[in-house]
Structure 1
Amino acid sequence: MNNNNELQQAVLHGLLNQQQYAANEMLAPKLLVNTKHETIWEHLLDEFGTCQSFGIAVAFITKDMLTPFKAVMNELAARNVSGYLLTSDYLGFNEPTMFAELLKIKNLTVKITPASGFHTKGYLFDKGIEKTVIVGSANLTRSAMLTNYEWNLRLTSTSDGELFSQVKDQFDQQWQESALLTDEWIARYAASYVKPQFNQAKRQIDKQKLSSVKITPNQMQKQALVNLAKLRKNKARRALLISATGTGKTYLGAFDVQAFAPKRFLFVVHREQILEAARTSFRNVLGGLAADFGILSGKRHQTDAKYLFATVQTLSKPEVLAKFDPAEFDYLMIDEAHRSGAESYQRVLNYFEPRFTLGMTATPERTDDFDVFKLYDHNVAYEIRLQQALAEDMLCPFHYIGVTDYEVNGELIDETANLSRLVSDERVDHILQQLEYYGDSSRPAHGLIFCSRQDEAKQLAELLSKRGHLSCALTNEQSITQREIAVKQLEKGQLEYLVTVNIFNEGIDIPCVDQLILLRNTQSSIVFIQQLGRGLRKYPGKKYVTVIDFIGNYKNNYLIPLALHDDHSASKDRAKRELAFKPILGLSTISFSPIAKQRIFSALDAVKLDSMYELKQEFMAVKKRLGQAPLLSDYLDQGSLDPRVFLKNARLDNYGHFLSKMRENVTLNKYQDQLLTFVTKELAFGKRPHELLLLQLLLKNNLVSEQELVDVFDEYGCYHNDQLLNSLDMILGLDFFAIKSGKKLKSDDYGGQALITHDGFYYQLAPGFKAALAQGGDFGRLLSDAINCGLRLNRDYDNKQQFTLYQRYDRKDVCRLLNWQKDLSAPMYGYWVGEQECPIFITYHKDKKIAASRNYQNTLANNSAIRWYTRSPRTLESAEVKRLLEVDDHGKRHLKLHVFAKRSDAEGKGYTYLGQADILPGSVAEETMTTDKAKRKRVVGMDLKFRQPLPYKQLKYLTGDQEAK
């Protein structure tokens, strides 16, 4: 709760003078818009999260926004928070079925206003003393909440505020005059409802234009085509394209065939149903006569066609293959290439001798021993990932809701649960309650249910059917034909659900699927994404997919946020951050119930994401892709594990040590090992490129002049000055590290010898470094890899200045990047007053023991300034404080203040750089701190104003509750 003075400051900041008055970002008037950094929906979620009650008055509501809205309402219901929704039948925009869905929300009272032309968009939140109103252009629709260009003004006041009172009075007046939403009202509305035809003529014209537009590749397809051309230029004969279902891989294949211009082309699939669609797609791109596009399947043997589309079942027959010359086709394309290990595919691949073969698949990783990557010569031309495809609007958006699985006597379902619990009437009731609440009752469901075991699938399908939801269990006991019959029944609406155990993880395409129900342990991120992908293909009339994940007491729950965010950082803190703040992926939303969220937090606490086991698993997966042991840069190329996981691992001095643990033959002598460790631990994180660029130059050239080095810095876009050049000498000469660490100097860990010599004009590698390179072994390639990795990681940084806003640095990083002569990180603690610059390190949520021992806190509820305190005892007369406050003749302070902050100590040693700050005039004051021993000590407090106000998400994360801790 905030006092009136803070609210007054916020209002004055927003409406009078933003420079003169500091403001709490969460209280200040703010224009809410949808950007790539934040959405209107996220701001509404913040308000819902802290309110005691709420009111919504909107003209239009769409069903595609009701799923995440229901999830939020369910959370509020658990807190006994209820609200009011006022809407209308204006223009017939609101569908009768949408009103029916609103009635499912028990803690929401809905009324329909009779007001003519009701076009209001307003949201009111009661938080006790504080009241917030958001008014503007955004209705409760998915596009308005997430992507549309909308203007919405957020104002916070007390209950005595005139503006809030006016809005509340208008809401109350309309509420009194409005009719309660009931089943009877919906029935009357539905009886006379006519769906509005907005801009029908324009849509028809647009449709005609679209049909005449030439099909061209999108950005991702263009890059894939470039990669394929490059592979062929390098004499590659085979390649693999990895593309999620629904991302246009067939069209991509057609574009590549167009570029290749084969004399004859052969396309091979495993299902006859795919042939016609594939042939149509290729003709749309390639053009030409219909006779040029033939089918080889069953009774159709159009074998003379220039472009032949064949099922593998027919083509692989020896008598059919014998009809073709092995060199008949110069381009061979295999759809669903993960099946290539089957005998039928092997016969085809071993028979034909094309100039080029392209395999296409969404799921190259296999649970059997077959190596798909090896078959295609480890040439992965391109991989279109789920998150990319969603961003490019190639897939249908989804609403993911993580709910709690069935619980008995405080015990949740887990992978060891008895079948009787998995298919008990109570669990089925629980499942159906969630399906009813989050599902769309106005249309038949087309759902896939993934469960744990075959016996569970069979009994669950039977029980669901008895409850009126016709379902069919599909396991590996059914034949392909039986599965295809069941799929057709689902497509026709004769079945609502297919209940399966893993067989639909890949290789199945059912575009009509609009519900995914997950009732199983998350085995791996790969399987999770495969199952999610089953519902994401676009389909007429399908606006979104509802994903309901029943989260039990599973040890692998932590994989869910990692998979949804394509997170390879192996960082618990990042995973918890993503989980805590209801993330949004384009038009897709992600919600977890509080209990489900806590289960995942518990699973994260119990697992070690960067354990040697996890590293080995990822190593083997990438090795299989490449056909050789991966280097650090290979993990970046493959979009795999973030290489920083290896760099920061305290059990590994360098990547060569890890390769040795993996029984790869690595040869390094002691000094080579020390040099590689130095580059790994001190430089390869890429937080500054200068040392890496100099070493890279010196590996190519014996002598490098200062001017040549400066030219490279300019070309790379790096800042440079005399202090920076001197810092390079101190770092690569190891003088920076010449401090006591136990009984020896820290620099001794790196061999104690300078890496370079610099005579003021030229740089050279030091004799010891040259000798290490000359001695051979694996040193050269591992060193070059570490340098290359560091430069690639550096792409995330702005090299025109010392620090990049909102990147993470530890204290030693800061000493180095400030060009200091020594590493002062050990005695630095909360800040260090240097000659020209003062870095300040703030842990926002203190450890409970530390917080209890002091009676002050740094406060950052404000995105423009933070209240900060010196160490104790300090007064205004302390030399250190005088240095902080010292100004020149023009009133400008001598010291540059750099502020770094982290949410809690759980984040590790790194701090986020919040930018430079200035001490606000009049804010400096001596204050008293009481320690845990009841001693009173003096400190000096002051307000530090950021030169660049914090973005909303940075402020939100640093100051939010400790749920993500």
Structure 2
Amino acid sequence: MADAMRDAILNGFVDQNYLGSEELGPKILANNQQERIWQTLRQELYSCKSFTWAIAFITQDMLVPFKVIMADLAKNGISGTIITGDYLGFNNPRVFTELQKIPNLEVRIANKAGFHTKGYLFDHENYQTVIIGSANFTRSALLANYEWALKVSSKKQADLTAQLVDKIADLKQDSFVLNSAWLTDYRKNWVKPERVATDRHQTKILPNKMQKAALKQIEALVASGEKRGLVVSATGTGKTYLGAFAVKKYQPRRFLYIVHREQIAKKSLESFYRVIGGPRSDYGLLTGNRHNLQAKYLFATVQTISQPEMLANFNSDEFDYVLIDEAHRAAAPSYQRLLHYFKPNFWLGMTATPERMDEQNVYQIFDYNLAYEIRLRDALEEKMLAPFHYVGVQDYEADGVAIDETTDLRYLASTSRVDYVLKELDYYGYCGTKAKGLVFCSRQDEARELARLFSQKGHPAVALTNEDNEKRRNEVVASLVKGEIEYIVAVDLFNEGIDIPALNQIVMLRNTQSSIVFIQQLGRGLRKYPGKDFTVVLDFIGNYKNNYIIPLALNQDTSRSKDQAKRETRLPSFIDVSTINFSKIASEKILASLDSVKLDGMRELRQSYHDLKNKLGRVPLLFDFYQYGSVAPIVFAQNHGLASYADFLGKMGEDVNLSKYENEVLSFVTKELLNGKRIHELLLLEMLLEQDIVKQEDYLAQLKRHHAYVNDELLASVDAILSLDFFDIKQGKTTKKAQYGKLPLVERSNLFDYQFNGSLRSALDQHDFKNLFVDAIKTGLALNQEYDNQRQFTLYQQYDRKDACRLLNWPKDVSAPMYGYRVGEQDTPIFITYHKDDHEKRNALYRNTLADGRSLRWYTRVPRHLDSDEVQRLLNTRGMNLHIFVKRSDADGKQFFYLGKAKIQADSVREELLGVKKKPAVGMNLMLKHPLSESMHELLFE
């Protein structure tokens, strides 16, 4: 630690060429795409022994993610102190109430006049870290605002630390512990600070930024002569107003609006009237209760207008513009009857959830004309919805028994579970003066019993199921909005259609069955409402097989990449100022679920394929998956059951005609180049698709344009890859080269020209092959945008052992016998699995440890001695590049994160005896040249 602290100080305050430490070095913190100040505070909280914060302003909207961490810290006996105050009346009394709920936190009120500090002090084992700057403990300051904060660490005997301790002691002495009497008095005298009014009196409704973009796309569809179009718009993003703006622009002779509920028809009529205006008599309803058949703007329920005797009142060309709301229902017979009968100039479909679990193709119904798409993430980033704070917590457990899919009702609705749930609901709280929550559970009898117990314990609740009619549902919703009850307990009843903008809590007390339903239920609480600054989403996570769906749904991640899903679970996620937080135990349950599921199984890939095919109206290519954020193309390449995407298309029943050689070439490009980890081969293949012969000077110029490094070893490596010589390694009874067709893809006509071999040139005349070959290259080039082509490896990207052999320009793939490392002439790649899954395994003998966020203790194979040739070459510090690759555990597959180059700490090298048999190995400290980032530290080592 002493050396690391010294180096951090020298690096930060003397010369940046000294080896520094991300953990200990001084750093300017800010909010941007790559980092947020809150992430650093979070990391410090999880690694400290105690903390003291002196912060003037605190907002309730930042307390939810803070409480998640404090609950985890409480389990480890770690506590802290916050010193705050009443300066300018900024702190809402509710903030103090919520802070009092945190048992391992002492809250003190400063007596200092004009108390306006913004300092965060963390005590670690033998050093302290302080963060001081412009950022108060508010959501805006820690997640969004343009703020600066200086992070500095120092030893406990340092003068800076002594000054800090004195300042804190002085502040503590001139403060008192928050108490009920003070809070009662503060609440009584508190006057809410006035905010500058913004458009408070605006009466004219105008389209927002995303609605304007959508309107342009709809108008373009109409102008091009298309008859149908679909808008996908997340719940709460104003799709009704968007429809009204579109209709106003079109100025139809007569307009028909179709929806499945009378309540929605009535609300939509009012919204259209506000936007379009005109005589009130132009607007009418066609429902079971109202028959305004002559209205210019007719709002109808599908149940009424689809009746044959009702349709007889209208000519087929009666309406020149028809809008179907909740258009994902349009495959139902009643809607189909209308779609076949009416002949308007334009049909507009609008839905929040085009993906259907019943496999009906909504896109096809609207001629695959996706006019615009506003997904949940887009809407949150555009501030069209209320932000949310999602918290995944452990569900109730007793005697080590957890809730799962088979749990009996007696346990699901037991008094002890309800007590636990209510305690968590109170701890994490809500925005506003009273809870207005919607609870989703699994079964009707569970809903009724939970509602009874909630009410019995002082939290009035009503159960609603599909047995309750619309009148009853409306009455219960009205009771919730008025504050007469606190909770509605439902069973998949409020997934769509009914809006309760006043909701400030969403509670998940059930297994997550699908991303679609999860987002529908989450969306219920995100509509904006006066006084609602955020919604708390509390998810009680049991031992469910489907837990893995949760991070995928929250992050709208359809990539089918397990690595990505694990990152989303282990690290905090943000959507604008919305936060996604898992307690440590809940995170472990989700990771266990991820380890036991096959995200990229053929069943899952088939579903994703058909979803995208339905959306596009044609056979999707790999680049379509990349472009539309669906399955990560690399998933197809890494699937051991697929030789290439052509192989997958065949399994999907598509007619793809390829020869054996064409299949082999596609397999090579898919398995070896599609990942985009090196651009050089892909660029040459792309150039050869355009011209028969590529001169080396032109190839070099193209590499330069793409800022790709070049040397003689690299060019020789490209030759070895594209000639397949790199793969000429025995594997069983054959070679890898034989699997790729044996023939070199690219030949040299002389020393300086490249060309395809004759067989490949002929194959490119075949449409199916060329289409798939070009697609793989195009996709690989797109994926390469994530990599730095000026270097062999990109920091914090993932690589396997074969990637290392190729990118180090080695002539052969020697990854099979590499195991933990291979000492080359100039480069030694070292692969480290940090957490050993099995202590009996051979590699568990090598107890790698991380110190100071920059130093790894590492061991050679056994038996090795200090004078072994391999060790001597390794210690040749002048001529040897050590490349460090680390993965968290064996469960994380073959891919390792690249942590950069390292140097050996000379005085740490020593021969040691390892394992039960005491075999000799050489241990040494590997000092990372790039101090580990906080997020990578958390991802790999915590």
Name the TM-score, length of structure 2 as normaliser. 0.89
Q: 1: distance between equivalents of 2:88 and 2:316?
A: 65
Query: Pick from 136, 139, 154: which aligns with 1:139?
Result: 136
Q: 2: distance between equivalents of 1:499 and 1:208?
A: 35
Conserved 8 A contact 1:876-1:940? no
Conserved 8 A contact 2:395-2:542? yes
SS at 1:156 equivalent: strand
Residue 940 of structure 2 is aligned to residue 954 of structure 1: no
CA spacing shift, 1:249–1:167, aligned 2, 3 Å: same
Query: Pick from 75, 94, 97: which aligns with 1:97?
Result: 94
Q: Given residue 725 of structure 2, which amino acid in structure 1 is its aligned partner?
A: D
Alignment of 1:223-372 (within 5 A): 236-253=226-243, 266-271=256-261, 274=264, 294-297=283-286, 301=292, 303=294, 305=296, 311-312=301-302, 315-316=305-306, 321=311, 324-368=314-358, 370-372=360-362
Percent identity between the aligned chains? 50
CA spacing shift, 1:454–1:805, aligned 2, 3 Å: same
SS at 1:437 equivalent: helix
Query: Could you tell me which residue of structure 1 aligns to residue 60 of structure 2?
Result: 63
Q: CA RMSD in A?
A: 3.7
Query: Pick from 732, 736, 751: which aligns with 1:746?
Result: 736
CA spacing shift, 1:719–1:182, aligned 2, 3 Å: same
Q: Given residue 507 of structure 1, which amino acid in structure 2 is its aligned partner?
A: G
Conserved 8 A contact 1:870-1:941? no
Q: Output one character per residue of 1:726-748: Cα deviation in whole Å (capped at 9) or x when no partner.
A: 54443222222223223333211
Query: Could you tell me which residue of structure 2 aligns to residue 644 of structure 1?
Result: 634
Query: Could you tell me which residue of structure 1 aligns to residue 758 of structure 2?
Result: 767
SS at 1:557 equivalent: helix
Query: Pick from 591, 595, 601: which aligns with 2:585?
Result: 595
Moved more, 586-595 or 894-903: 894-903
Q: Given residue 641 of structure 2, which amino acid in structure 1 is its aligned partner?
A: R
Alignment of 1:572-721 (within 5 A): 572-626=562-616, 630-699=620-689, 702=692
Query: Could you tell me which residue of structure 2 aligns to residue 207 of structure 1?
Result: 199
Q: CA deviation at 1:448?
A: 0.9
Q: CA deviation at 1:384?
A: 2.9
Q: Given residue 342 of structure 2, which amino acid in structure 1 is its aligned partner?
A: F
Structure 2, gaps ≥5 residues long: none
Residue 467 of structure 2 is aligned to residue 471 of structure 1: no
Residue 42 of structure 2 is aligned to residue 45 of structure 1: yes
Query: Pick from 786, 790, 797: which aligns with 1:796?
Result: 786
CA spacing shift, 1:821–1:642, aligned 2, 3 Å: same
Query: Could you tell me which residue of structure 1 aligns to residue 486 of structure 2?
Result: 496
Query: Pick from 890, 905, 918: which aligns with 1:934?
Result: 918
Q: CA deviation at 1:614?
A: 2.8
SS at 2:209 equivalent: coil
Query: Pick from 446, 449, 455: which aligns with 1:459?
Result: 449
Conserved 8 A contact 1:873-1:939? no
Conserved 8 A contact 1:733-1:756? yes
CA spacing shift, 1:846–1:367, aligned 2, 3 Å: closer
CA spacing shift, 1:212–1:950, aligned 2, 3 Å: farther
Query: Could you tell me which residue of structure 2 aligns to residue 889 of structure 1?
Result: none
Q: 2: distance between equivalents of 1:883 and 1:523?
A: 52
Residue 75 of structure 2 is aligned to residue 107 of structure 1: no
Q: CA deviation at 1:215?
A: 4.1
SS at 1:450 equivalent: strand
Q: 2: distance between equivalents of 1:717 and 1:255?
A: 47
Residue 104 of structure 2 is aligned to residue 119 of structure 1: no
Residue 159 of structure 2 is aligned to residue 162 of structure 1: yes
Q: CA deviation at 1:271?
A: 4.4
Query: Pick from 533, 550, 559: which aligns with 1:560?
Result: 550
Residue 892 of structure 2 is aligned to residue 907 of structure 1: yes
Conserved 8 A contact 1:296-1:315? no
Query: Pick from 401, 414, 422: which aligns with 1:411?
Result: 401
SS at 1:464 equivalent: helix
Query: Pick from 6, 9, 28: which aligns with 2:7?
Result: 9
Q: Output one character per residue of 1:819-846: Cα deviation in whole Å (capped at 9) or x when no partner.
A: 4443343455555666676655455556
SS at 2:802 equivalent: helix
SS at 2:57 equivalent: coil
CA spacing shift, 1:936–1:313, aligned 2, 3 Å: closer
Q: 2: distance between equivalents of 1:708 and 1:327?
A: 62
Q: Given residue 417 of structure 1, which amino acid in structure 2 is its aligned partner?
A: T
Q: CA deviation at 1:278?
A: 5.0
Conserved 8 A contact 2:207-2:242? no
Q: 1: distance between equivalents of 2:43 and 2:70?
A: 13
Q: CA deviation at 1:340?
A: 1.7
Q: Given residue 411 of structure 1, which amino acid in structure 2 is its aligned partner?
A: V
Q: CA deviation at 1:450?
A: 0.4
Q: 2: distance between equivalents of 1:96 and 1:116?
A: 19
Q: 2: distance between equivalents of 1:745 and 1:341?
A: 52
Q: 2: distance between equivalents of 1:937 and 1:420?
A: 58
CA spacing shift, 1:554–1:277, aligned 2, 3 Å: same
Residue 534 of structure 2 is aligned to residue 544 of structure 1: yes
Q: 2: distance between equivalents of 1:215 and 1:714?
A: 46
Conserved 8 A contact 2:441-2:489? yes
Conserved 8 A contact 1:876-1:882? no
CA spacing shift, 1:155–1:710, aligned 2, 3 Å: closer
CA spacing shift, 1:442–1:5, aligned 2, 3 Å: same
Q: Output one character per residue of 1:846-889: Cα deviation in whole Å (capped at 9) or x when no partner.
A: 6755566457x4756345x7777777857699698579858xxx
Moved more, 372-381 or 647-656: 372-381
Conserved 8 A contact 1:451-1:457? yes
Q: 1: distance between equivalents of 2:238 and 2:281?
A: 22
Query: Could you tell me which residue of structure 2 aligns to residue 390 of structure 1?
Result: 380
Q: 2: distance between equivalents of 1:722 and 1:158?
A: 49
Q: Output one character per residue of 1:234-287: Cα deviation in whole Å (capped at 9) or x when no partner.
A: 7643232222112343455456567767666544344455567656766887x7
The number of residue pairs the alignment matches comes to 935
Q: CA deviation at 1:904?
A: 4.0
Q: 1: distance between equivalents of 2:500 and 2:571?
A: 32
Residue 859 of structure 2 is aligned to residue 861 of structure 1: no
Q: Given residue 374 of structure 1, which amino acid in structure 2 is its aligned partner?
A: Q
Q: 2: distance between equivalents of 1:720 and 1:321?
A: 72
Residue 499 of structure 2 is aligned to residue 516 of structure 1: no
Q: Output one character per residue of 1:450-469: Cα deviation in whole Å (capped at 9) or x when no partner.
A: 00101111222222223332
Q: CA deviation at 1:543?
A: 0.6
Q: 2: distance between equivalents of 1:461 and 1:471?
A: 5
Q: 2: distance between equivalents of 1:254 and 1:449?
A: 33
Q: CA deviation at 1:709?
A: 5.3
Q: CA deviation at 1:512?
A: 1.5
Name the TM-score, length of structure 1 as normaliser. 0.87
Conserved 8 A contact 2:205-2:274? no
SS at 1:556 equivalent: helix
Q: CA deviation at 1:532?
A: 1.2
Conserved 8 A contact 2:899-2:928? no
Structure 1, gaps ≥5 residues long: 887-892
SS at 1:481 equivalent: helix
Q: CA deviation at 1:923?
A: 4.9
Q: CA deviation at 1:549?
A: 0.9
CA spacing shift, 1:264–1:388, aligned 2, 3 Å: same
Alignment of 1:833-912 (within 5 A): 839=829, 841-845=831-835, 848=839, 849=841, 853-854=845-846, 857=848, 859=850, 861-862=852-853, 873=864, 899-912=884-897
Q: Given residue 143 of structure 1, which amino acid in structure 2 is its aligned partner?
A: S
